[in-house]
Amino acid sequence: MAKSWPLNLRRKLVTFRGRSDAVSERAKRLLVKTLYTQPSTLAIGAFCGVSSTAIAAWVSKHDILYLGSVILTLIAAARIIAALKLPREEEQISTHKLELTYEVGAYSYALTFGTIAAATIALAAPAGVEVLMVANALCYGVAICARNAGSPVIAIGQLALICLPIMVAAAWVGSPAMIALLITIILLIPAMISITFNVFHVLRDSILAAENSAQLADKMWVLARTDVVTGLANRAGLNHAMAEALMVAEADAKVALFWIDLDRFKEVNDLMGHPVGDRVLAEVASRLRDVAPERATVARFGGDEFVVFVPDCDRKDSERLASEMHAEIMRVIRVDSERLEVRASLGVALMPDDGHDIDSLMQNADLALYQAKVNGRSQTCFYDPSMSRDLVRRREIEDELRAAIHRDELSVFFQPIVDLETGRIKTFEALVRWFHPEKGELRPDEFIPVAEESGLILTLGNWITAQAARACAQWPEDVSVAVNLSPLQIRAPGAVLGILGALRESGLDPKRLELEVTESLFLDDSPATSHFIEELSAIGVRFALDDFGTGYSSLGYINTFPFNKIKVDRSFISGPNVGKKSEAIIRAVVEMGATLEMEIVAEGIETVEQVEAVRNAGCTLGQGYYFSRAVPDYLAAMLLAQERNEPIGMHRKIG
Ligand code: C2E
Ligand code: CA
Ligand code: CA
């Protein structure tokens, strides 16, 4: 935990680590310090002792008592001076020295006091003087024992040193009253020892409990701000570090915020498992830490996103830093025997140019990152105010789509594909619909590309396929369902498993599932694509070539892959550009289809004239608003039921 945390946090961590050994030491120090608290009680004790011995000496006129009084006064004065001169700062004096200083003063005071009291007995001072001294000495002994319970040895030592001379004197005199005094003191001492230890244990336990809870609070503090996988700061840790840094920063301070997202990290997780994914994250984290300056805070925001906050960093510094971070992340990562190459997209926002507070800085760095991804990933984008509203809207859609999937705002509708000879429904094409609670219906053309860019299409696509298969399993056996697949979905690891899962779960015969793919799929010659199509064709799943005529017109792949259907794009059927030329194209496609034994579907049929036209051109199947729009599953089932109760008619409108 080096560079990721600012200095004060690190200090906290270090103290925290060394804390366990230090608990007893600190507790001991606190206990010893209780010796010095409440100096007023010490002063009262000193005053009573000094004044009573002075009075005793003056009344009885014994030289020994005068001497004792002077010695006691000197000791009291020395103790007061020592207490006042003791360094206030804790670190300046050791616990042992603190204890020893007190000990020497306390013991000599107690012994002198006890001896003076004993002397009044031995010298047979007037009864009043004896009472004054013995009472004072014993009171002092008992009181000091209670007061100094934080250090039981000192407390009991003081009591013993006061009592012993009195006991010796009492035994020596031997009168019944003195024997009674002796016995009283003998009983008093064990009672006081027990009381002292009781108080000491209570004191020590409460100090230890307070220490432990302080330690626990520190631990929680650190944990709440740390990302467990990488040891970096988490979102809360970053917020704390940024707030702290900005609090002490000058008004015109330059600050840079880097928002880093690993490209296609989900694939690493899916292909190699989460433990490998975690190790990759930890490695990226340590590289970022190494490359970031000491003053920076490096944080991980869940998933594969990292944020680096660098105070005192201008545009030039941040450009250099961004390219260093790219280079570090791209270096091959070795996990066991695997060599992994990771890439990242970076968004950067600078303070004060791109925002004056943390929130706008974060928002703009995030937007810049989004732009970097839209531009094709593996690059850095600096925030620029011209980053369009379009981008903001796309970003919004992405966030909302993520939530929509969880909130069940999406549904799958079904549009019939009709046999142009008999008018019967042969297939339903599954089309996703999004009914946003505030924005109303959002068009798939708008959100499907966003889902593709963000990788959300994988979750969404699997969900749509599962819904479609489930619905189709309820329909008569001669009706199939067609599902649109985007290229990304097909190339993703586990794509085949997604389809197989939907089939297994619904119990649908694979022959009744048709997958619609577009020509763009064949733009790059990916082995994943051929593998996907071959594996699923082998179990009977059918393939249709969607939007035919809009793409790249390299017909090679039509021969290579086992398509069952070609869907002629609706721009050839309806719309402003339809004419002789498009009719000729349809005829050519139909001819090709006949040779290759493929069915030809005409998309986007809106009028009866168009039905006639495509039928005359040789299309066998038709789809479009003329027959029906996409409808919810229960209406699709109704259309089928209705159709099966009616005599077969020619190309009729069913919607
Ligand atoms: P597509 O695959 O070509 O789907 C046919 C689109 O044409 C649908 O639009 C359908 O409602 C529309 N359409 C059908 N008949 C007519 C007609 O007579 N006239 C006109 N003007 N349009 C007609 P939709 O549902 O808005 O979908 C648009 C595109 O979004 C789809 O084009 C497909 O590329 C994509 N899409 C829709 N649903 C999904 C899905 O579940 N997964 C994926 N990957 N893409 C989807
Ligand atoms: Ca389609
Ligand atoms: Ca189409």
Report if residue 227 sits inside a domain. Answer: no
For ligand 2, an ion, list residues with CB under 5 A. 484, 516, 546
What count of Cα atoms within 13 Å lies in the side-chain half-sphere of residue 240?
17
Q: Is the pLDDT of residue 651 over 60?
A: no
Q: For 67-81, 240-254, 560-574, 637-651, which range has the lowest pLDDT when averaged over its residues?
A: 637-651
Averaged pLDDT score across all residues of the chain:
88
User: How many distinct structural domains can be found in the chain?
Assistant: 3
Q: Which ligand is nearest to the CA of 548?
A: 3
Q: Is the pLDDT of residue 649 over 70?
A: no
Q: Is the pLDDT of residue 14 over 60?
A: no
Q: Which ligand is nearest to the CA of 604?
A: 1
CA–centroid distance, 517 to ligand 2, in Å, is 8
Report if residue 332 sits inside a domain. Answer: yes
Report if residue 653 sits inside a domain. Answer: no
Q: At what angle do helices 235-248 and 358-374 cross, to 10 degrees?
A: 130
Pairing of strands 513-518, 542-548: parallel
Q: Which numbered atom of ligand 1 lies nearest the CA of 605?
A: 18
Q: DSSP assignment, residue 651?
A: S
Check residue 450 and give its pLDDT: 87
φ, ψ for residue 333, nearest 5 deg: -105, 130
238 within 8 A of 305, measured Cβ to Cβ: no
Query: The whole model's pTM is what?
Result: 0.54
Check residue 577 and give its pLDDT: 73
Q: Which of 465, 472, 484, 548 to mutate to test ligand 1, by most ligand atoms within 8 A of the CB atom?
A: 484
Check residue 282 and give its pLDDT: 94
Report if residue 177 sits inside a domain. Answer: yes
CATH code of the domain covering residue 337: 3.30.70.270
370 & 409 share domain? no
Residue 2: pLDDT band with limits 50, 70, 90: very low
Q: Is the pLDDT of residue 429 over 70?
A: yes
Average of per-residue pLDDT across 488-510: 94
- What residues make up the domain containing 61? 4-218
CA–centroid distance, 431 to ligand 1, in Å, is 6
125 & 54 share domain? yes
> How confident is the model over 232-248, as pLDDT tens digits?
999 999 999 999 998 88
pLDDT higher for 388 or 134? Answer: 134
Q: Which numbered atom of ligand 1 lies nearest the CA of 630?
A: 11
- 641 CA to centre of own chain: 52
635 & 563 share domain? yes
Per DSSP, the residues of 545-588 read EEEETSS---THHHHHTT-SEEEE-GGGTSSTT-SHHHHHHHHH
Closest residue by Cα to atom 32, ligand 1, is: 445
22 & 153 share domain? yes
For every residue of 287-349, which 3-state class applies, written as one string? HHHHHCCCCCEEEEECCCEEEEEEECCCHHHHHHHHHHHHHHHHCCEEECCEEECCCEEEEEE
329 & 433 share domain? no
472 & 363 share domain? no
Residue 166: pLDDT band with limits 50, 70, 90: very high
Average of per-residue pLDDT across 316-342: 92
> How confident is the model over 590-621, as pLDDT tens digits?
998 988 899 999 999 999 999 999 999 999 99
The residue type found at 644 is R
> How confident is the model over 513-559, as pLDDT tens digits?
999 999 888 877 788 899 999 999 999 999 999 998 876 656 777 87
CA–centroid distance, 498 to ligand 3, in Å, is 22
322 & 416 share domain? no
Report if residue 350 sits inside a domain. Answer: yes
159 within 8 A of 168, measured Cβ to Cβ: no
Check residue 258 and give its pLDDT: 97
Check residue 576 and give its pLDDT: 77
CA–centroid distance, 424 to ligand 1, in Å, is 21
DSSP 3-state assignment of 373?
helix
Closest residue by Cα to atom 38, ligand 1, is: 431
Six-digit token pair at 55?
């009075």
Report if residue 244 sits inside a domain. Answer: yes
Ligand 1, pocket residues at CB < 6 Å: 415, 430-432, 443-445, 448, 461, 464, 484-486, 516, 546-547, 570, 574, 604-606, 623-625, 630
Residue 17: pLDDT band with limits 50, 70, 90: very low
Q: Is the pLDDT of residue 623 over 60?
A: yes
Please report the sign of the dihedral spanned by the C-alpha atoms of residue 622, residue 624, residue 627, residue 633: positive
45 & 149 share domain? yes
Q: Which ligand is nearest to the CA of 488?
A: 1
Cis peptide before 352 (omega within 30 of 0): yes
Residue 23: pLDDT band with limits 50, 70, 90: low
Percent of the chain with pLDDT over 70: 93
Of 218, 244, 278, the one marking the end of a domain is 218
